[in-house]
Amino acid sequence: MFVILGLSDSKPEITKSTEYINCPNCNNQRFWNLIHERTNFSLFFLPVFPVKDKYYIACPVCNYGNQLTKIEYAERINKIYGN
Ligand SMILES: [Zn+2]
């Protein structure tokens, strides 16, 4: 019997942040995107459980950005939704 195991990336979750940032790369002023990327352990190509989370804040024009910690990301999300 074949068992197919692997890692798969789920579609990144993108939230518009409330931070209006002047991008040092493309010089546009925009509300940057908060991005949550998740890598899942998968079985037969179906995601079973998450193994790695990555968080970023990035320019919506050129995708230049910085990686965030989970805490930094959560603080920004909380600011948007007012929790
Ligand atoms: Zn940019």
CA 15 to centroid of ligand 1, rounded, Å: 16
User: What integer pLDDT is reported at residue 1 of this predicted model?
Assistant: 78
User: What integer pLDDT is reported at residue 52 of this predicted model?
Assistant: 94
* Residues 35/18, Cβ–Cβ less than 8 Å: no
- Average model confidence (pLDDT) for the chain? 93
> For residue 77, how many C-alpha atoms fall within 13 Å in the half-sphere facing its CB?
15
* Residues 37/9, Cβ–Cβ less than 8 Å: yes
CA 47 to centroid of ligand 1, rounded, Å: 32
pTM: 0.83
User: What integer pLDDT is reported at residue 83 of this predicted model?
Assistant: 63
CA 19 to centroid of ligand 1, rounded, Å: 14
pLDDT per position in the chain (83 positions), as tens?
788 999 998 889 999 998 899 999 999 999 999 999 999 999 998 999 999 999 999 999 999 999 999 999 999 999 988 86
What residue spans define the domains of the chain?
5-81
